[in-house]
Amino acid sequence: MGRIILTGDRPTGKLHLGHYVGSLRNRVIIQNTWEYDRMFVFIADVQALTDNADNPEKVRQNIIEVALDYLSCGLDPSKVTIFIQSMIPELHEMTQFFSNLVTVQRLQRNPTVKSEMAQRGFHDGAEDDNRRGLPVGFFTYPISQAADICAFKSTTVPVGADQEPMLEQCREIVRSFNTTYAPVLVEPEIYLPANMVCRRLPGTDGKAKMSKSLGNCIYLSDDPKEMEAKVKSMFTDPGHLRVEDPGKVEGNCVFTYLDAFVEPGDFEKFWPDYASLDEVKDHYRRGGLGDMKCKKFLISVLHDRLQPIRERRHFWEQDIPGVYEILRKGSEAAREVAAATLHEMKDAMKINYFDDAALIAEQAAAYKA
C-alpha cells in the first residue's frame, strides 16, 4: 500500500509561524514532491470544542481563518482533500469503540495532555478549589485523534514534536484493535521536520512553544507592520545589554527563528556583511553585534517568506463562498473513506448483525422448535 498523509489543526485562532515550520511547510513540500496515494488535511473543530465548549462562536469564526491559511500557504484542493472534522460523524463512532481499548491510567500518562491541562488551568483532582475541572472530552481527545488518523488508514502524519505522544497512543490503539478483532487498521508514522528547531518553535516571549493559547505568536496573516513590531520586541539574551557585550545564541529567539527560516541566498540579498548564520552567531557570541541588526535581518527574511502567503490569502479572501465549497466537497469525499473504514471495523468487531446472514441462519436453526 502507498502512503496516505493526514494532518490537521484546531480552529482556535489563525495559524502562526510554529504551525508553519512544524507542519504546514512540510505538508506543502509533500504535496508537491512526494509520491502518495492520498493526502488529507482537516480542521479539528470537534477537538477545539473539547476546551472551548462555552465558546462555539470562536470555533465557528476560525474555521475560515484556518482554511484561508491552508490555501495561502499553497495547499492545493485539487491534490489534497481538505475537510471539517465534525462533518464526519463516523469518527465519533470509532472514538467510542477505541475508548474501550484505552485505560484512564494510560491517558493520564500522556505528557502533552498533562502540560496542556496545566496551561488551561484544568485539574484532575477533587473539585475542591477554584481551578476548572477537567472536561471528559478534553481528557480523551487523544482517542478521538486516533480515530481521525485511523479512519483514513493514514501512514504518515506530518506534525510538530508535541504530537509524538499522540502518535504513540494511536499506534497502541491500532495494535490493540488489530489483535483483539482483526488486522483492519494501519499503524501511522510521525513525520517531524528534519530541522530540530522547527519541531517546537518557541514563542516570541521565549516560552517553550509558540501557541495560539499563549498569545506569543507571529501569525501568517499578520501585516508587515505587526510582524515587524513583534520581532522588534522579541525575547533575546537578557545579559546582552550593550553592543560590546558577548551574547548568548542558545535560547535567544532571534537566532532560533533565523535557524528555522534562513535559506541559502538570504545573506547575499539582505545582509551581505556576512556569508552564513554561523558567522553571525560567532560575532554575536564574541560581542560587538547589536540585537537590532539581527532583528532587522530576521524581519527581511520573514517578510520574504510571508509576502507570497499574504498575497495568496488576499486572493482567497475575495472568494469566501468558494472556500466553503472546497471544504464541503472535501468533507463529502473524506466521509466516504471514513465510512468504508468504519464498515470494516464493525465487521471485525462482529457488530454487523444485519449483514451477517450466517449468524441469522444459525440462530434460526438453533431456535426452531
Among the candidate windows 5-13, 25-33, 106-114, 321-329, which touches ligand ATP by CB under 6 A? Answer: 5-13
3-state secondary structure of 219: strand
Q: Which DSSP string corresponds to 79-132?
A: TSEEEEGGG-THHHHHHHHHHTTS-HHHHHT-HHHHHHHHHHTEE-S-S-SSSE
Q: Name the minimum Å distance from CB 221 to ligand ATP.
A: 14
Out of 45, 69, 90, 162, name the contact with ligand ATP by CB under 6 A: 162
Q: Identify how many contiguous H helices and E strands the chain contains and give both numbers.
A: 18, 7
- Does the protein bind ligand ATP through residue 211 (CB under 6 A)? yes
Nearest distance in Å: CB 364, ligand ATP: 52
Please tell me whether residue 204 binds ligand ATP under the rule CB under 6 A.
Answer: no
Please report, as a single letter, which amino acid is at residue 168: E
Contact status: 9 vs ligand ATP (CB under 6 A): yes
Residue 28, burial from CB neighbour count under 10 angstroms (0-12, 13-18, 19+): middle
Our finding on whether 209 is near ligand ATP (CB under 6 A) is yes
DSSP 14-59: --BHHHIIIIIHHHHHHHHH---SEEEEEE-HHHHHTS-TT-HHHH
Lookup: cell for 338 = 471514513
Q: Is 90 in the site for ligand ATP (CB under 6 A)?
A: no
* Separation of alpha carbons 132 and 12, rounded Å: 19
86 near 328, Cβ under 8 Å? Answer: no
DSSP strand pairing (4-9 vs 38-43): parallel
Q: Which stretch binds ligand ATP (CB under 6 A): 107-115, 209-217, 226-234, 319-327?
A: 209-217
Least gap, CB of 256 to ligand ATP (angstroms)? 11
Residues 15-54 vs ligand ATP: string with x where CB under 6 A? ---xx--xx-------------------------------
Identify whether the C-beta of residue 313 lies closer than 8 Å to the C-beta of residue 221.
yes
Strands (E), the chain: 4-9, 38-43, 81-84, 122-123, 132-133, 156-158, 189-191
**Interface of this chain with ligand ATP, residues 292 to 311, rule: CB under 6 A:** none
Residue 81 makes contact with ligand ATP by CB under 6 A: no
For ligand ATP, which residue of 178, 213, 300, 352 counts as binding (CB under 6 A)?
Answer: 213
| Nearest distance, CB of residue 244 and ligand ATP, angstroms | 33
The contact mask relative to ligand ATP for 184-203 (x = CB under 6 A, - = no) is: ----------------xx--
Among 41, 75, 113, 159, binds ligand ATP (CB under 6 A): 159
Q: How far is the CB of 57 from ligand ATP (least distance, A)?
A: 15
Using CB under 6 A, which of 160, 188, 247, 330 touches ligand ATP? 160
324: exposed, middle or buried (Cβ count in 10 Å: 0-12, 13-18, 19+): middle
Query: Based on CB atoms, which residue is closest to ligand ATP, 157 or 289?
Result: 157
Phi, psi of 188 (to 5 degrees): -85, 155
Q: Which is nearer to ligand ATP, 9 or 237 (CB)?
A: 9
Shortest reach from residue 285's CB to ligand ATP, in Å: 25
Which residue lies nearer to ligand ATP by CB, 19 or 305?
19
Whether 144 contacts 113, CB under 8 Å: no
Q: Contact between 212 and ligand ATP (CB under 6 A)? A: yes
Are 101 and 177 a contacting pair, CB within 8 Å? yes
Given 210, 302, 306, 348, the residue binding ligand ATP (CB under 6 A): 210
For ligand ATP, the binding residues (CB under 6 A) are: 9-10, 12, 18-19, 22-23, 159-160, 162-163, 200-201, 209-213
